[in-house]
Amino acid sequence: MKDYIEVDEWKIIEQGFNPHHNKVSESIFSLGNGRMGQRANFEEAYSGETLQGNYIAGVYYPDKTRVGWWKNGYPEYFAKVINAANWVGIDILIDGEQLDLAKCEVLKFRRELNMKDGYLKRNFTAKTSNGKIVEVEAIRFCSIVEDESGAIKYTITPVNFSGTLTITPFIDGDVINKDSNYDEKFWDEVKKESWPDGGFVQMRTKKTGFEVATGMLVSLLQDDVAINPEIHYTTQEKYIAAKVGMQAKEGQSTTIIKYAANLSSQNHQVADLEARLKTTLARISGKGFENLLREHANAWARKWKHNDIIIEGDASAQQAIRFNIFQLNQTYTGEDDRLNIGPKGFTGEKYGGSTYWDTEAYCVPFYLSTADQKVTRNLLLYRYKQLGKAIDNAKLLGFNNGAALYPMVTMDGTECHNEWEITFEEIHRNGAIAYAIFNYVRYTADEAYLADYGLEVLIAIARFWSQRVNWSADKQQYVMLGVTGPNEYENNINNNWYTSKLATWCMEYTMEVTAKVKAADPLKYTALVNKINYNEEEETTKFKDVIKKMYYPYDEKQQVFLQQDGYLDKEQILVKDLPAADRPINQKWSWDRILRSCYIKQADVLQGIYFFEDHYDLETIRRNFDFYEPRTVHESSLSPCVHAILAAKLGDEARAYEFYLRTARLDLDDYNNDTEDGCHITSMAGTWMAVVEGFGGMRVRDGKLSFQPFLPDKWKSFSFHIGFRGSLLNVKVSKDGVQIKNLSGNETTVLVYDKAQLVKPNDELLVEA
C-alpha cells in the first residue's frame, strides 16, 4: 500500500517526483475519451522505468496463444488492445543536452489530474548535468467532444541561462507491447507524410488488418506570441518528427501546442483515412487549444451534473469516488455497440483490454443509473451481436442444438482465454450475461428488448445449462461437475453453488420471458422459434426437470450454502489468523497451497446472494455472510464492493464502510501493489455500487426505486444522482433524513424505508430521520 497521493476533492495530486512511483502514477493519471486513451507518460524523453501506452478502442491483435500443453477447445490467440502510435512525444534538447527526468536533478515536481475539467497538468523544475535550470508546464487532454483527438500545451522556460532550445514533436508508431507473447511488434507501416506544420503516420495491424492514421499539427509561441521558426522534418520507419531550434532568453517562455488525432478503419473507410485525418486536425487546430479545452470542460460539467456523488465530511472518500466515476466515464461512453469495457480500460495492457463478465456483473448497474438508457442497451447488444460465436464456442466443447457459451475473454466474440480451468470451467460468465438482461429490463421496463434480442440470447444460454448438467444416479439429482466459480482459488470443483444457482435461475427466467414475448408479440415469437429451431414444449420440459431436481451443496449444521462439494474438508483457518507475512497469498504461496486452502479470492456464494437477495430472508443472508466473509482474502478488485453492499443490508455499517474504503482507494493507494499494470476500471463501478446500493440501499422493487439508506459515521452527508425511466433524481442522505429532488418534468413515486413517496416534477421532499 502506498500513500503519496494528496487529498483533494476534485484533483489527484502527486507532489514531488519518486521514480519508484512512476509506473503507478502513469496508471492513475491516465486519460481517455471512450475512443482512445493513454497512460500518463511524459511528453519529453524518460529513460527511467515506464510503461508506454496509447490505445485505440476496438483495435486489437490476435497474439498467438502460449501454452505448454495444448488441449482441444483452446483458443488459438489472445486478443489484445495493442499499444498504438505515441502521439504525445516532444523531445527537448537544452543546449544539446536531452531533458530527461531520470538524468536531471528534479528540483520541483507536481502532477495533477483535474477530474472536474478532465485534463492532466504537470509542472516541474529540473537542473541538467550542466547546471542549467528549466521550468516546464505541460497540459494535455483527450477531448470528449472531438473524440478522436487530443491536444498538448507544453511550455518551457530557462531559469538561469539563455541558450538554444531544440524542440522535436513526433509521432512514433514503432511501439511494442510489454505483454507480447513472442516479443512481436504488431504494426506494419502503410504510409507517412510530413507537412509544413506537422505530419502523420498510417499503420496496419498484422493479421487483423485494422488501419490507424495518427497525425499532428504544431504551433509555437514565445512569451505567448506566435512565431514561425524553420522546421526540419525527419522520418524513420513508422516515425515522423518536426525539429525546431530556437534561442530562448532567461525567463522567456517557449510554448509548443500539439494537436493530434487518431482515426481508425473501425470508423472510417481506409481510403478516406488520410483526408479525414487532415480535416480533423484542421478543425481542432482551428478551434485553438483554449477553446478546445473549454468545450471539453463543459462536456465534463454535463457529465458530472448527472453522475457526481458528493460526500461531506470526508475529503479522502470524496476524492476516491470521483476518481472512480471519472475513470469509468473516460473508458466507455456507450456511443458504439462494438465497444466494451476492458478491466484496465485505457490505463494499461494487463488482461489485454478485452471484455470479461465484469461488464455485466459490475458495470451495468453504474451505466443504468448514470447514463442514457441506450448506453446499457449497447452493452447488451455487444453480446447479442456475438451470439453466433458463442454458439460456435459451445460447439467446440461438444454442445449442440444452438447452445451458447459466451467467452471468458473476448474482443469480437471469439474465446481468447487460454487457461483450461478458466476457459472450460469458469462458465458462470454465461449467467452474468443473462442476469444483465434481467437487470436492464427490470430497471428500464424496455421489454421490447426481450422480443427483439434478449430472448434469443436467453434460450441459447439456457440450452447450454440444460446440457452442461448431468444426472447423478447416486444423488438422484442433476449435478454440475468440473467448474470454477468466481473464487478462482478453487479449480475443477463439483457443484459450485453459485454456478448451479445461476443455471437454474437462467432457465426459469428464460421460460418467464418466453411466456411474455409469446403473449405480447406472437409474430416475433414465431419468427424466433423458426430461426433457432426452438421446440418450446420439449426444451422447457427439460428446463423444468433440471430446476426441480438440481443438487445444491448445503451444510445443515451451519445452515449455509456450501461453495462446492468438499469445501468443509479444507482446514478452516480464518483470514484474521493468517500471518501478515503470508499476505497476499497469491504472491506468497504456491498455487498448490492456495488450492488446498479454504481461502476465497472474491465473493462466490455471496455473489449469488447479492444477485438473488430477494430469494432469501435476512437471517439466511446473515449466516452465509458471517461464514464466508472471514474466509475471503479479497485478492480480486471485484470482491470488496459485494461485501460492502451485503454488510450494509445487514446493518453492519462499520464493515460496510471498511469494504467501501478498500475498493474506493484501491488504485489511489495501490492497495494490492499492482496499479502499475493499470487501474482496476471495472471494479470502479463496484465502488459506485457500494455507495448507491450499499449506503444508499437503492434497489428496484415492483417497478419503483426503493431506498434504505444510512449515513456512515464519518460523513456529514452524501448525495447522488439517479436516472430512472425518464426521471432524474438527486438523493441526499444526512442527519436530518433523506432528501429527494426531482430534477425532471416527470412525477415519480419512490419507496423510502418501504413507504411510498410521490415526488412531483421539479419538486423535492424530505423524509425525516
Three-state secondary structure string covering 286-345? HHCHHHHHHHHHHHHHHHHHHHCEEEECCHHHHHHHHHHHHHHHHHCCCCCCCCCCCCCC
How far is residue 91's CA from residue 698's CA, in Å, rounded to a whole number?
Answer: 51
Burial class of residue 557, CB neighbours in 10 A (0-12, 13-18, 19+) = exposed
Determine phi and psi for 197, rounding to 5 degrees: -130, 25
Angle CA(389)–CA(390)–CA(392) in degrees, nearest 5? 60
How far is residue 183's CA from residue 756's CA, in Å, rounded to a whole number?
Answer: 61
How far is residue 738's CA from residue 710's CA, in Å, rounded to a whole number?
Answer: 9
Cα radius of gyration (the chain): 27
Nearest to 767 by CA among 744, 729, 736: 736
**Alpha-carbon distances, residue 291 vs 146, 184, 286, 296, 721 (angstroms):** 12, 41, 9, 8, 29
How far is residue 640's CA from residue 323's CA, in Å, rounded to a whole number?
Answer: 17
How far is residue 582's CA from residue 674's CA, in Å, rounded to a whole number?
Answer: 17
Q: Say if CB 143 and CB 149 are below 8 A apart.
A: yes
Question: Each residue of 175-200: b (16+ CB within 10 Å) or e?
Answer: bebebbeeeebbbeebebbbbebbbb
How far is residue 622's CA from residue 608's CA, in Å, rounded to a whole number?
Answer: 14
> Could you tell me which residues are beta bridge partners of residue 188?
204
Burial class of residue 155, CB neighbours in 10 A (0-12, 13-18, 19+) = middle
Q: What is the pLDDT of residue 134?
A: 98
488 is annotated as an active-site residue: yes
CA atoms within 13 A on the CB side of 679: 36
402: left (phi over 0), alpha (psi -120 to 50) or beta: left
Which residue has cell 448438467? 469
Nearest to 466 by CA among 385, 420, 409, 401: 401
Determine phi and psi for 719, rounding to 5 degrees: -145, 155
Task: Give the SS3 label for residue 540.
Answer: helix
Q: Which residues contact 270 (CB under 8 A, 6 or more apart)?
A: 211
Which residue has cell 441459447? 460
How far is residue 303's CA from residue 150's CA, in Å, rounded to a whole number?
Answer: 19
Determine phi and psi for 270, rounding to 5 degrees: -55, -40
**Cell numbers representing residue 355 in the block:** 471484455
Q: List average pLDDT for each run of 10 residues in the chain, which is 769 residues long.
A: 93 97 98 96 98 94 75 77 95 98 98 98 97 98 98 98 98 90 90 94 96 98 95 94 96 98 97 98 98 98 96 96 97 92 89 86 96 96 97 95 96 86 92 98 98 98 98 98 97 97 98 98 98 98 98 98 98 96 94 97 98 98 98 93 97 94 92 90 94 98 97 96 96 97 96 97 94
CA atoms within 13 A on the CB side of 384: 18
Point out the catalytic residue in the list 26, 488, 490, 629: 488
Nearest to 292 by CA among 118, 445, 82, 415: 118
Task: Give first-to-last CA distance, the chain, whole Å.
Answer: 38
Strands of 173-296 (E only): list them.
187-195, 198-205, 211-222, 225-227, 231-236, 239-248, 254-264
Q: Say if CB 173 and CB 191 are below 8 A apart.
A: no
**Cell numbers representing residue 524 in the block:** 416475433
Q: The pTM is what?
A: 0.96
Q: What is the pLDDT of residue 80?
A: 82
Three-state secondary structure string covering 116-147? CCCEEEEEEEEECCCCCEEEEEEEEEECCCCC
Nearest to 732 by CA among 711, 703, 751: 711
Q: What is the pLDDT of residue 68?
A: 64
Q: Say if CB 667 and CB 687 are below 8 A apart.
A: no
To the nearest 10 degrees (0 to 180), the angle between helices 315-331 and 289-307 is 110
How far is residue 229's CA from residue 220's CA, in Å, rounded to a whole number?
Answer: 8
Name the CA dihedral angle for 498, 499, 502, 508, rounded to a multiple of 10 degrees.
-130
What's the full length of the chain, in residues?
Answer: 769
> Could you tell me which residues are beta bridge partners of residue 35?
none
Q: Say if CB 352 and CB 80 are below 8 A apart.
A: yes
Which DSSP symbol is given to 551? -
Burial class of residue 415, CB neighbours in 10 A (0-12, 13-18, 19+) = buried
Which residue has cell 486519460? 31
